[in-house]
Amino acid sequence: MATRGKHRPMIWLAVGLLLGVVVAGFCPHAPLHASATDRFQTFAVATGMVDDGVEAIYFLDFLTGDLKARVLSKQIPPRFNAFYERNILRDFGVDPTKNPRYLMVTGLNDLRRGGSRLRPSVGVCYVVEITTGRVAAYAIPWDAQSHASGQMSSGEIILLDVNQFRTAAIRPQ
């Protein structure tokens, strides 16, 4: 009787592994999307999705307020062929001489896209300005047809919304 109880944990482990393999085999596989963010002193960079299989790199210059995005073409050899820009100082109502402090990340959002050729990117770039306590969401006006054909494209990054997340303003140190 005592030897029979010793093997039960191993049996349950084997059953669990087998069930895990079976369930994983029948579940639909969702692609993983990773984004990267970094900053150095007065500059931030982030990557984010624009469309299926297409990614942008965003640059934010804290001193000038320039938010820029670049997208590589799918053509061989790959080159940056899509260029988008916006100055965000007015969006946040900040004075660049007052040392604004930014954070920047990207995320996915299933925005309504409509039937026009230009539509918002599936990825959203979120910029936070700490001294004003505001967050803004931005998207790229994306033209998938131009990108697929390797045409150059450019435009202004779209401001989706600005919202106050902190009510008390803080002073820069």
pLDDT, tens digit, 9 for 90 and up, residues 31-85: 545 578 888 899 999 999 999 889 999 999 999 999 999 999 888 888 999 999 9
Task: Say how far residue 151 (Cα) sits from the centre of its chain.
Answer: 23
**Could you tell me the two tokens for 110?**
């299933």
Give 131-166 pLDDT, tens digit per residue.
899 999 999 999 988 888 889 999 999 999 999 998
Reported as a single tens digit per residue, the pLDDT across 5-25 is: 566 766 766 666 565 555 555
Confidence of residue 169 (pLDDT cuts 50, 70, 90): low
Distance between CA atoms of residues 105 and 137, nearest Å: 10
Of the candidates 140, 143, 144, which has an alpha carbon nearest to the alpha carbon of residue 159?
Answer: 140
Q: Residue 19's pLDDT is what?
A: 57
> Does residue 30 have a pLDDT over 70?
no
User: Cα(138)–Cα(157) distance, rounded to whole angstroms?
Assistant: 7
* Secondary structure (3-state) at 150: coil
Distances (CA, A) of 49 to 15, 83, 138: 39, 15, 12
Q: For residue 122, count other CB atoms closer than 10 A to its CB.
A: 21
